[in-house]
Homo-oligomer: A and B are copies of this chain.
Amino acid sequence: MSDVARLLISCPDRPGIVAAVSQFLFEHSANIIHSDQHSSEQGQGAFFMRIEFALSGLDPSEFRPEFAVIAQRFGMDWRLTETARPHRLAIFVSRQDHALVELLWQRAAGDLQAEIALVISNHTNNERLVAEAGIPFFHVPMSPTLKPAAEARELDLLSEYQVDTVVLARYMQVLSSEFLARFPAAIINIHHSFLPAFVGANPYEAAYTRGVKLIGATAHYVSEELDAGPIIEQDVHRVDHRHGPADLRRMGRYIERVVLARAVTWHVEDRVLLHGNKTIVFS
């Protein structure tokens, strides 16, 4: 399947887009495998499309300039990705390992179509686990005073390892605006609550105190405002009066793992498109 490509399109909706794109692909002998599209506001707003197709000998370097003509006509924001070049991830973790373990296992099982290029942590306890998986591990200690230098070091590593996307797998550190600016729409965080409920620290304790009957987790792109970026995926699990904060944390780990893994999988398969502060997910 190395000759598969994906075309991602966002543009103002107007008649003729699908006709133009599909005609273009047909004329270039590109055989469509999957195609998803979405028109907001019943065809009156924005238009989004994801097409997965066999390149069938089509050369992406020829495709791009030719398609740019159509793209310009419709004012498209677009990109073409090739599955032959795997998406490269960096995973940032703190002490907790559950989200990391899940991603490592998904990668090993072949369910996550990406390379885990490196793991960065402000602790060392997960070093052996990562080493056993044959993945470079870097310990970058973090504190308010260390932060500028630590982030600079992290950015160097991300550059050196040609990372496309950063996954905060319970990293528990707030990234600076400068850091975020380097990876727009390419930093995914797992927050251990059903956002927008329980923004910030200790959401399980807050959930326990409020007496909710379902706990949740949210995977979202990181933006300047804490826990307010575009949501990619959420899920919940039922709890009741028998469950204390420790139970919520334990049960919550399941949801966090699954929700983050789903979000990362969709992201690396180019299934997530941005629409303002919201996402279109062609899952």
A residues apposed to B, CB below 8 Å: 15-16, 18-19, 22-23, 25-26, 29, 31-35, 37-43, 54, 97-98, 101, 105, 109, 111, 132, 194-198, 210-214, 216, 230-236, 240-242, 244, 250, 253-254, 258, 275, 277-281, 283
Contact = CB atoms under 8 A, between A and B. Distances in A.
Contact of A23 (B23, B41, B101): B23
A11 B283 CA distance: 24
Number of copies: 4
A15 B29 contact: yes
Contacts of A253: 109, 111
A26 B35 contact: no
A18 B105 CA distance: 38
Given A196-B197, A211-B277, A258-B254, A23 B19 contact: yes
Nearest to A278: B211
A9 B213 CA distance: 22
A202 B278 CA distance: 19
Contact of A279 (B41, B241, B275, B278): B241
